[in-house]
Amino acid sequence: MAPAEVMTFDTELSQCIEDCLACQRVCLETLTYCLGKGGRHAEAKHLRLLMDCAEICQTSANFMLRGSELHSRTCFACSEVCGRCAESCARLGEDRLLKACADMCARCSESCWRMGGGVMPQTPNPEAAQRAANLPA
Amino acid sequence: MAPAEVMTFDTELSQCIEDCLACQRVCLETLTYCLGKGGRHAEAKHLRLLMDCAEICQTSANFMLRGSELHSRTCFACSEVCGRCAESCARLGEDRLLKACADMCARCSESCWRMGGGVMPQTPNPEAAQRAANLPA
Amino acid sequence: MAPAEVMTFDTELSQCIEDCLACQRVCLETLTYCLGKGGRHAEAKHLRLLMDCAEICQTSANFMLRGSELHSRTCFACSEVCGRCAESCARLGEDRLLKACADMCARCSESCWRMGGGVMPQTPNPEAAQRAANLPA
Amino acid sequence: MAPAEVMTFDTELSQCIEDCLACQRVCLETLTYCLGKGGRHAEAKHLRLLMDCAEICQTSANFMLRGSELHSRTCFACSEVCGRCAESCARLGEDRLLKACADMCARCSESCWRMGGGVMPQTPNPEAAQRAANLPA
């Protein structure tokens, strides 16, 4: 038994917890890396997304670890933030660390999307509705 | 100028930040109180909701304070968690502290709902869709 | 009664909670401001201190709000981080926001120092004491 | 490469990060378990320690992941909280989950203690030194 796994969750939930924890970690590591590198890597929007992603991943993992019945809500928010963070990292190109972060964010986004029940935002606001319609199923 | 207010946000955003921070705080205070009181106050489900609510309020406030463009997502999750926590506190009756917590959670839920754009969950899963349909507008 | 104050703490503890919460907030607001401003304001070391300070203030406030008997430990760590963050903000000069952040950090540092008991953890473990003695002043 | 490890830290730091993350996780899992079990497992003091431990482990890991030069302070606080949490879990006896949590907390406490340098913060400020000297051992 790995030291950090004392409980048994169902497989999908368990995978989502792993993904959120791994994503939180890689986002903070990438933040440290980008701060040190400066330039395009340290643009406000990118750094903010890394902070956002690390924080919602942590919150989302904590909801699942606490066995909260409301974890689908935090997972859904997490899915969207991870998706944006993945794009932001991917745009920075071929850098090995950024690529690892983009991959992990994309994986976590997918994992949280399933856990969030594929909840899809709908709103009387037609612009937002359009954006939602354009989201992958 | 209050020491903690160095930036100017628009009124509604600013109010939502205040509400999240106040709600986070009252939930932790109520958690402490309920832990000490035991019995119905310390039932697992209620304590978990207080922890959930404190954490998502913190995350939601932090997204807004960082100026994140994704704050509507965390606000939306926060709105739902606050709503549930308000109910859980209200069910515990006439206790002054619980009542203050229920009121603050309800206020924060409303505030976050507006900030989240009144996003309403929709899903191909009919059970979840039904639950969503039963939510107040 | 302010909505977020449902419990009565002793005056000094209560003030320390206020200071930590206000400091957490101003640090995140200043982080947002500095990210937007760029240049010296967005140097890695400064941004990292703002993130560190916001996080330990939050943790420290949460320990006190939970009534944890170990809050002196988190307050002590908080005191040092706030002190460094105050210096970092003060070095950036006459900017109104940075100055407000420096002031709040200095106040919180002092408040946490008192709450941490001016802790000088002592240990019967001679090995650890030796390691400590070998640290740079 | 594991998905969450994009940076290279020195061995001891890296191990401490792993231990904090694993300890944060096991504390939340144990909290969930204890909430469900009730009775002695759900006593206020024990639940609070699990919450304290999870939170300071998270903060401590985040400081290290951000490359903060102040991580020795959060590690030192973490070491003490983990030590207390280990005792609290161990007292609950032979339960497999509690035992795993106690072991992880003890390991993390030791790891953070080394990382905190067995810190004995010293200050040139004679007033603070005096206050410290007056503290109970």
| Average pLDDT, integer, range A101-108 | 98
Q: Which comes out higher in pLDDT, residue B27 or C130?
A: B27
Mean pLDDT of B8-36: 93
D11-133 fold = Substrate Binding Domain Of Dnak; Chain:A; Domain 2 (1.20.1270)
In sign, the C-alpha dihedral spanning C93, C96, C101, C102 is positive
Say which range, A10-19, C68-77, D8-17, D57-66, has the weakest mean pLDDT: D8-17
Q: Which class does domain B11-131 fall in? A: mainly alpha
Distance from the D135 Cα atom to the nearest Cα atom in chain A, whole angstroms: 36
A103: enclosing H helix or E strand? helix A96-115
Q: Do D44 and B42 touch (CB under 8 A)?
A: yes
DSSP E strands in chain B: the ranges are 120-122
Print burial letters for C25-58: b (CB count within 10 Å at least 16), e (below 16). bbbbbbbbbbbeeeeebbbbebbbbbbbbbbbbb
Q: Under an 8 A CB cutoff, do A48 and C38 touch?
A: no
Residue in A35, A42, A44 nearest the CB of C36? A44
Q: Tell me how many degrees the CA angle A50-A54-A58 measures, rounded to the nearest 5.
A: 170
What SS3 string covers chain C?
A: CCCCCCCCCCHHHHHHHHHHHHHHHHHHHHHHHHHHHCHHHHCHHHHHHHHHHHHHHHHHHHHHHCCCCCHHHHHHHHHHHHHHHHHHHHHCCCCHHHHHHHHHHHHHHHHHHHHCCCCCCCCCCHHHHHHHHCCCC
Give the strand pairing for B120-122 and A120-122.
antiparallel
| A75-84 tens-digit pLDDT | 999 999 999 9
Interface contact C26-B33, CB threshold 8 A: no
Look over chain B and give the mean of its residue pLDDT values, rounded to a whole number: 84
C47·A35 Cβ contact <8 A: yes
Preferred mutation among C47, C88, C120 to probe D, highest tally of D CBs within 10 A: C120
Chain B adjacent subunits, 3+ CB pairs under 8 A = A, C, D
Residue the block writes with tokens 């003490």: D80
Contacts with D103 from chain A: Cβ below 8 Å: 3
Prediction ipTM score: 0.82
Q: How far is CA B48 from the centre of its chain?
A: 13
| A-B contacts (CB, under 8 Å) | 89
Identify the DSSP state of D69.
T
pLDDT confidence of B102, banded at 50, 70, 90?
very high
Mean pLDDT of D122-134: 38
Instruction: Write down the domain spans for chain B.
Output: 11-131
Please compute the mean of the pLDDT values over residues C111-115 and round it to a whole number.
95
User: Is residue B19 within 8 Å of B107, Cβ to Cβ?
Assistant: yes
Q: What is the pLDDT of residues D28-72, one digit of tens each?
A: 999 999 999 999 999 999 999 999 999 999 999 999 999 999 999
